[in-house]
Structure 1
Amino acid sequence: MAVVDRSADQVPKPRPYPERDSAPWWERVNQHRFELQRCDRCEAWRWPPRAMCGRCASFEFTWVPLSGRATVESWVVNHHAFLPGFASPYTVVLGRLNEQDDLCLPATWQSDADPTPGQSIQIAFEAHTDDDGPFTLLAWRPT
């Protein structure tokens, strides 16, 4: 999985503000580890992170590494900068994870070429810095 340093960007991207369920996820992302919760009972992957499994209602889970590979399910090109740090136009891709076909994860797009349906993609870590220090966001890039 690639790591791209975006800390020199003119306007920093917004920093995530983790809450109880997402804090362990963001800690892993900041360590450049692509891991999700996996239910200990039914083995379903959980996204977004949460206390209870959406399939079997179990509260037991383990954080497990994923391949970081997916296919393009959908995307949107934003022509309006909704937040500082996102210069328009910018693309957000919904990647269907290889590990579980009903699990899609959104992230920005790291390519000058437009995504295409079913295209193979790989997760990338984007290193950012703001006044509070370094943090990491995810992006999709072509494989």
Structure 2
Amino acid sequence: MRPVVDRDSSEWWERVARGEFVLQRCDSCATVRFPARAYCHRCRTRGWHWEPIAPVGRVESWIVSHQPFLAGTTEPYVVVRVRLDEAPECVMYGNWRAQGPPADGMAVRARLTEVDEELSLVDWCPLG
């Protein structure tokens, strides 16, 4: 299985595949947003640009999944929900790539895992 790429997310997936960690920033109100979408959820305007941010955050929660939803996963695997340090309104999900379970509040860093030349996934591991 592969992630479902749509009009709003296609460029984000392309950038991740090139090794970039970026989010959209609204040109009108400067709100940083993820996931990618055509309109700003705060001011409802369409203007935005991609902006690199530090690929670090803190674990908010995690689960053990027994369903293989995405390519590159084996059963069972841990999925973490991470709140990004430079964009605290944004949360991102990804596979946990470390031994042992994560802890809530743990500092983490994104790791881009190449599945093939067209797809990389954002995974998370302890910061350090």
TM-score relative to the length of structure 1: 0.82
Instruction: Please give the alpha-carbon distance, in whole angstroms, between the structure 1 residues aligned to 2:90 and 2:118.
Output: 28
Instruction: Please give the alpha-carbon distance, in whole angstroms, between the structure 1 residues aligned to 2:53 and 2:86.
Output: 7
Deviation, structure 1 residue 123: 0.5
Deviation, structure 1 residue 85: 4.9
Deviation, structure 1 residue 17: 3.6
Percent identical among aligned pairs is 37
Deviation, structure 1 residue 122: 0.4
* Local SS of the residue matching 1:139: strand
**1:102-123 deviation per Cα after TM superposition (whole angstroms, max 9, x unaligned):** 2110011100121101110001
Identify the residue that residue 136 of structure 1 maps to in structure 2. 120
Identify the residue that residue 79 of structure 2 maps to in structure 1. 92
Deviation, structure 1 residue 99: 1.3
* Local SS of the residue matching 1:106: strand
Identify the residue that residue 97 of structure 2 maps to in structure 1. 110
Identify the residue that residue 61 of structure 2 maps to in structure 1. 74
Identify the residue that residue 36 of structure 2 maps to in structure 1. 49
Instruction: Please give the alpha-carbon distance, in whole angstroms, between the structure 2 residues aligned to 1:93 and 1:85.
Output: 15
The count of aligned residue pairs is 126
Q: Which has the higher contact order (CA 8 A, sep 6+)?
A: 1
Deviation, structure 1 residue 57: 0.7
Structure having the higher Rg? 1
Deviation, structure 1 residue 47: 1.0
> Which residue identity does 1:40 align to in structure 2?
D
Residue 7 (structure 2) aligned to one of 7, 20, 24: 20
CA-based RMSD of the aligned residues comes to 1.5
1:59 has 2:49 as partner: no
> Which residue identity does 2:126 align to in structure 1?
P
Deviation, structure 1 residue 134: 4.4
Instruction: Please give the alpha-carbon distance, in whole angstroms, between the structure 2 residues aligned to 1:18 and 1:82.
Output: 18
Instruction: Please give the alpha-carbon distance, in whole angstroms, between the structure 2 residues aligned to 1:71 and 1:27.
Output: 25
Instruction: Please give the alpha-carbon distance, in whole angstroms, between the structure 1 residues aligned to 2:80 and 2:86.
Output: 17
> Which residue identity does 1:98 align to in structure 2?
D
- 5+ residue gaps, structure 2, are none
- 5+ residue gaps, structure 1, are 1-13
